[in-house]
Amino acid sequence: MHSHHNALRVARELQPAAPVTLVRPDAALNAARFFTSAFPGKSFYAVKANPSLHLIETLWAGGIRHFDVASITEVRLVRGALPSATLAFMHPVKAEEAIAEAYHTHGVRIFSLDTHEELQKIVRACATDGVPADDLTLCVRLKVSSAHSKLSLASKFGIGVADAPALLLAVRQAADSLGICFHVGSQAMSPAAYADAMAFVRAAIVEAGVTVDVIDVGGGFPSRYPGMEPPPLETYFAVIERAFEALPISYSAELWCEPGRALSADYASVLMRVEKRRGNELYVNDGAYGSLFDAAHVDWRYPVRLVRADASEADVEEFAFYGPTCDDMDHMKGPFLLPSDVKAGDYIEVGQLGAYGQAMRTGFNGFGEGATVAVSDEPMTSLIPAGGVPQVPGNVVQLGVAARH
């Protein structure tokens, strides 16, 4: 992987005809250091957001020791790269073969579930010669609201609070360590999402009367995008810590989280070329079947900038993008804000694509991956403080102030 300073230098030196992924190792290091120092518990990187081995190793270098893996392929990937990492298989519906391989071959001891059937599957798969495992940490996935989040995760997984107590009691019998996990949805715009979810957790624990050893608040920590300006991450951590400390749980209980987007978004951007302009529609060489899946399918707006040696003096206008494939659905309506004189042959950098960018790429229509180049400039926009050092003390006094910005 060659190192260049920034997008302009890549455009000048390579004049690439295919999209180029620009990766920022320093940004990933910052994000890792920030979570390991500021989050009041253990941070598990959600590998699905970006399974790049370089990123995973960079996060490890920044202090991340725990990884949320949601498929057996992710289990193998991380275990192969990081023999001493702690892996948590946090998909609530798994193949029995995957559970068995994770447990017996790769040393996975943490699993999530949301049904009695999945509990029986885990117990069977982790047994040795018919003897049940006595070293399992099992996390019951609770259904909570996604009301505060840009992408809901409320409908697919999770057991309702009314049904949770019976499952918690059953899991308590099988598990060495009992956890409760949830997911407030992706890109949670308010810390209230976590406070609301913790109220569900409290109700389930009180009703079941069980001793809980782990509270896993999942992911959903936001990044910064155009039109999406969440409060500082420190504010989220303070709300979570306060709610955690008020729960009726074991004195030695652990607090976990599973950031995907927040640890990976800053890591990568994509340099694209404009192939044609039609009014305020730009035909570009990456799109819905490439790294702009979310821009096409959930109308995600990414930060964009024109990459030219001489900065444009033109006024900014709203543009939509068409991707390179023959499919009409390869359309990103944005709007993306660019100078009004953008034209065919120009390069555009699209930021914050480290999360769910490279990970979503397909080879459809023959348009696949281009080169990857390391750059050393800052991410286009970020919620991670400079140097990975927390800005606001995680205390209640600061809470109201930070939340109002």
142 and 53 assigned to the same domain? yes
pLDDT of the residue at 373 = 94
φ/ψ region of 296 (left if φ > 0, alpha if ψ in -120 to 50, else beta) reads alpha
Closest by CA to 380, choosing from 348, 341, 403, 340, is 348
Please identify, among 263, 291, 314, the residue that sits at the C-terminal boundary of a domain.
263
pLDDT of the residue at 399 = 36
152 and 202 assigned to the same domain? yes
- The whole model's pTM is what? 0.92
pLDDT of the residue at 368 = 75
Q: 392 pLDDT band (50/70/90 cuts)?
A: low
- Mean pLDDT for the stretch of residues 139-168: 87
Query: Mind listing the pLDDT tens digit for each residue in 257-272?
Result: 999 999 999 999 999 9
403 in a domain, yes or no? no
Say which CATH number the domain at 111 has: 3.20.20.10
222 and 368 assigned to the same domain? no
- Mean pLDDT for the stretch of residues 179-183: 97
15 and 34 assigned to the same domain? no
Average pLDDT, the chain: 92
241 and 118 assigned to the same domain? yes
155 and 272 assigned to the same domain? no
End-to-end CA distance of the chain: 39
Query: Mind listing the pLDDT tens digit for each residue in 2-61?
Result: 566 899 999 999 999 999 999 999 999 999 999 999 999 999 999 999 999 999 999 999
- Position 405 pLDDT exceeds 50: no
Q: Which two tokens stand for residue 396?
A: 């209640």
Residues with Cβ within 8 Å of 73's Cβ and at least 6 positions away in sequence, in order, are: none
C-alpha 6/C-alpha 24 separation (Å) is 10
90 and 120 assigned to the same domain? yes
Range of lowest pLDDT (162-171, 198-207, 365-374): 365-374
386 in a domain, yes or no? no
Map tokens 């992706």 to a residue.
186
Q: Which two tokens stand for residue 206?
A: 């009180």
pLDDT of the residue at 361 = 82
Cα-based torsion angle of the residue sequence 290, 296, 301, 303 in order, rounded to the nearest 10 degrees: 20
User: Residue 223's CB: how many other CB atoms inside 10 A?
Assistant: 25
C-alpha 360/C-alpha 357 separation (Å) is 6
398 in a domain, yes or no? no
Residue count of the chain, please give it: 405
Closest by CA to 181, choosing from 93, 97, 112, 103, is 112
pLDDT of the residue at 152 = 73
φ/ψ region of 121 (left if φ > 0, alpha if ψ in -120 to 50, else beta) reads alpha
Please identify, among 243, 263, 283, the residue that sits at the C-terminal boundary of a domain.
263
Q: Looking at per-residue confidence, does 250 or 146 come out higher?
A: 250
Say which CATH number the domain at 299 has: 2.40.37.10
pLDDT of the residue at 362 = 82
C-alpha 352/C-alpha 46 separation (Å) is 16
pLDDT of the residue at 397 = 35
48 in a domain, yes or no? yes
Query: Mind listing the pLDDT tens digit for each residue in 291-329?
Result: 999 888 888 899 999 999 999 999 999 999 999 999 989
Expressed as residue numbers, the domain containing 99 is 25-263
C-alpha 186/C-alpha 68 separation (Å) is 15
201 and 331 assigned to the same domain? no
Query: Mind listing the pLDDT tens digit for each residue in 349-386?
Result: 999 999 988 888 888 887 877 899 999 999 998 899 88
Query: Mind listing the pLDDT tens digit for each residue in 113-125?
Result: 999 999 999 999 9
Give the chain's domain count: 2
Please identify, among 263, 284, 316, the residue that sits at the C-terminal boundary of a domain.
263
78 and 189 assigned to the same domain? yes
